[in-house]
Structure 1
């Protein structure tokens, strides 16, 4: 994925959205959201989607998603107070893994302030190994609903 392609992301490129109201403690000494907050937001939007739309119940699920890769490209700062719209899509869905893309937008702005990637591998809770059949069917069905259009990758 080129940096120019990521910079051109707009809200309409994503199929799931979640609102976040920044907190005073999200700012760092430079008066913008600390880099670690973006990863907190990525984790929140992904897990909100999994719980709400994929029948995932983390405390009791036989499979869990382990984060094996994450990164973020930052384009413009966000500072408190702000309302942030987190936008989620799936760029690649494998047998036991999924690559998510998260767009971070400030309310009222069409250009992404940041775009991140988050990769989960779903494994057996006890053995920490992928299941023979991959991830559960309900999970696949839910993730398929937010797969990005091939033309927009």
Structure 2
């Protein structure tokens, strides 16, 4: 669930900078809603990759189980965005993240979000315990 208190840059522990693209804008001149989710997913993938998961080889991989976005104010090309991530809960097989989009140089979020990954067996797609290396990285940043 989205925490409305996490609106400031200092509320997040990990950032990934992503420039917007011309084709990210919709006909109204701001980022299309689906782009916000693409940016949220990008920061999570970068974070989990840096924590040690090998998306192409590992037996246990994360699936998106839930996502939300609250739009606070429009962003558009050519904005460069810092996408913030904070681990909010580490369960047996799932991790919850708080997310936010910030224009570079701004401390107030333009959008905030929530994302849940459930770790599953690549073949059976059944929930599995979070791999220990990933768990340690998530708990370090919790």
Task: Identify the TM-score tier after normalising by the shorter chain.
Answer: over 0.9
Equivalent residue, structure 1, for 2:29? 31
Query: In structure 2, what is the equivalent of residue 137 of structure 1?
Result: 132
Q: Which segments of 5 or more consecutive residues in structure 2 lack a partner in the other structure?
A: none
How many residues align? The count is: 142
- The reply on whether 1:49 has 2:47 as its aligned counterpart is yes
Output aligned runs, 1:73-92, within 5 Å: 73-92=70-89
Question: Does structure 1 residue 96 correspond to structure 2 residue 93?
Answer: yes
The secondary structure found in structure 2 opposite 1:60 is: coil
In 1, distance between residues paired with 2:5 and 2:127?
32
2-structure distance, mates of 1:76, 1:90 = 24
Unaligned 5+ runs, structure 1: 148-153
What is residue 9 of structure 2 aligned with on the other side?
A: 11
Given that residues 14 and 146 in structure 1 are in contact (C-alpha distance below 8 angstroms), is that contact kept between their aligned partners in structure 2? no
Displacement of 1:145 in angstroms is 2.2
- Taking structure 1 as the reference length, what is the TM-score of the superposition? 0.89
Cα gap change, 1:73 to 1:15, in 2 (>3 Å) = same
CA distance in 2, matches of 1:142, 1:3: 22
Supply the RMSD in Å over aligned alpha carbons.
1.3
